[in-house]
Structures are given as C-alpha cells and as structure tokens.
Amino acid sequence: MSSRLPPLNPLRAFEATARRGSVSAAARELNVTHGAISHQIRALELSFNAALFERGGKRLKLTPQGALLLPAVTEAFQGIAAATAAMTRPTTSGQLRIACVPALLSFWMIPRLHLFTEQFPDVQLTLIASNDAANLFSGDVDICLLYGDGNWPDCWARLWSRLELFPVVSPTLLNMRPLRSVRALRDHVILHGDDGREWNTWLAAADGIDIQRGRQHFMSDARLSTEAALHNQGVALGDTITAGSLIAKGELIAPFDLTVPANDAFYVACRNEVRAAPIVKVFIDWLFSALESDPMPELQTSARTIIRARAAKVSAPERLPFKDGFKPVSSPARARRPEPTPKRRVKS
C-alpha cells in the first residue's frame, strides 16, 4: 500500500465541493474561480483513477469512492484547524515577573491578587517591590508598575492612575496628640517617603510651608512611611490609591480636608518586545479592569464612625476637623482625573 498522499489543494477543493454541493459555492468559499475548482477535482480524480462525483443534476452527488474519501479528508482538515487554533490561542500559563511600587504592591495589588489568580490559575507570579525604572530594561522583569513621569525611552508605557496626596495618621496617635490645625503638625513627627518634596508641596498648599518642624524621618519609599504611620510613629503623606482602603478600615485617618496633586503618577510599562506576549497582555488588562471595577471604598461612613468613637472620650472642641462632605479621599475617581479640581484651603 502506497503512503504517498494526494496534493493538498485538490483535497481542499474536493472537501468544500462535497460539503457545499456545488462547484460554484466551493469556489466562493475558497476565493478562487469555478474553473480552478473543476480543474483541481479532475486532477484528484486522475490521481485516484476514480470518479469522485456523479455529474448531472443541480447538486453534485458523491460516488462510492468519493463517499469513502470525504470523512477522512474532513477529519484531517478539522484536526489541522484545531491545531492551528491551539497554536495561535493566547497563552495564559507560565511565569510572569512584575516589579511594582512598594506601597502600591503592599496596599493595593496584593489584597486583590486573588482576583487575578482565580481567573488565571496557571500563571505563576514573581513580585518585586521596586520603583526602579532600570527594571524596564532587565530580562528578569516582564511588567513594571512605576511612579514617575512616564517618560522612559524605547519602552511601552501607559498612564494607570493619577493620584492626590494628603496627611494620614493613626487614630491612636491622634487620640494622644490631636491635630486641630495645620500648625499642630509641629508637635508631630513628619514621616517622609521621599526626599521631602511631596510634603513641601502639601504644606505650601496649606499655607504651612513656614511651620517650624520638629522631628522628621526620611524613608526610601511611601510603603515604609505609611507603615510607620500605622505604628503610631508620626504623620505620613498618603495618597488616594494606597491609603484609601486603610482609611476606610479605620486604620488611618486623614485629618485635613485638603489634597494636592502628586508630582508624578502611576504608569504600567514594559519593553516593546514583551508587550505582545499574551501572558503580559492579560495581566496588563487585569490591572486596568481591576482599577475600574474595584474603586476605593466610600470613606465618609468610616470617618464619621471614628469621630463618634472619639466623641465619647474627648470634649467637642477636641474633635477631629473632618467635614461632613469629606472630599479628599471619599471620591477616588479624583485620582484618575487629568486635571485637579480646585482645593479648599485649611485653617492654619
């Protein structure tokens, strides 16, 4: 028995003609001429030395030899189509290495990470706490979530979220040392997550740039300054993305009704050649969908609960300077608007 196979194009012409019942319909499907289909079927019949169709009538009818050949040809083409689809289907398995701003990684991404892993259980993640743009050019990192200006040459970058900044403090520390005005910050330890520029920006907006400052601690990133605030070490500068949930849970308080736009923003970025990888695409798509579908919680209720809890312990003049319309962090959408809204000034 010969193992020599007939040519592929005549087999395609035969299968389409048998399935459609006419040469014209097969020609339209395969985008060739009527004559080309007829020629290919004739060539196939010559190679088998057997007729495959009974000529005559409006619809072609298979001969016994054609009926014997058709199931095998159909199965073969279906197998080829299935294999082709599997080869081109987006790969949602494998290893993915992500470098992320430390504060964003700890306070936003990790609490939501199960939402991604449940959807893509075959993806193994390696998470790196870093805001170093050099990771963009490292073969050991696939995706970066960076805080910066988005201007990284020879890379793909997309704005993920703008954000606003405001002081945050623990309820415990605020009970011990109230913050009735911006001037009262001089009695608190100021916690910096950078070189001091962001606190200077907020103080300038609050007419407090000339406040005599007491102790100050400088830390390498906002995660450390936020954690220090959680442990009653002082007043840190939080933002609408990473501090919002902590305020909603009552672990931190935003004592002043004033926010300022951050100097930079959060960007998703990666090397151009990595961007096309399906596993990279699904994670980037998840980052944006998670931000859109899981906004920061409404914080007014949390703020009022804290006020009521303190009211039993302190006299009315000592209560926190929250407003009923607690705007700075109750509306996280402000963190994503390109243009900041006018800010209210606080009593200094």
Kindly indicate whether the domain formed by 94-162+266-293 is annotated with CATH number 3.40.50.12280.
no
One digit per residue, the tens of pLDDT, for the chain of length 348 reads: 456 777 888 999 999 988 888 898 889 888 899 999 999 999 998 988 899 998 776 678 899 998 999 999 988 888 887 666 555 555 667 899 999 999 999 999 999 999 999 989 989 999 999 999 999 998 899 999 999 999 998 899 999 999 999 999 999 999 999 888 899 999 999 999 999 899 999 999 999 888 888 899 999 999 999 999 999 999 999 998 888 889 888 999 999 989 999 989 999 999 998 988 899 999 999 999 998 876 554 433 233 333 333 333 333 333 333 333 333 333 333 333 334 444 444 443
Fold of the 164-262+297-336 domain: D-Maltodextrin-Binding Protein; domain 2 (3.40.190)
Q: Give the CA dihedral 240, 246, 247, 250, nearest 10 degrees.
A: 180
User: What pTM, to 2 d.p., does this model score?
Assistant: 0.60
Structure tokens at 105: 């990684």
What fold does the segment set 8-88 form as a domain? Arc Repressor Mutant, subunit A (1.10.10)
Q: Indicate the domain borders of the chain.
A: 8-88, 94-162+266-293, 164-262+297-336
Rg for the chain (alpha carbons), in Å?
33
164-262+297-336: same fold as 94-162+266-293? yes
Question: How far is 227 from 230, CA to CA, in rounded Å?
Answer: 5
For residue 300, CA distances in Å to 18, 36, 120 come to 70, 74, 35
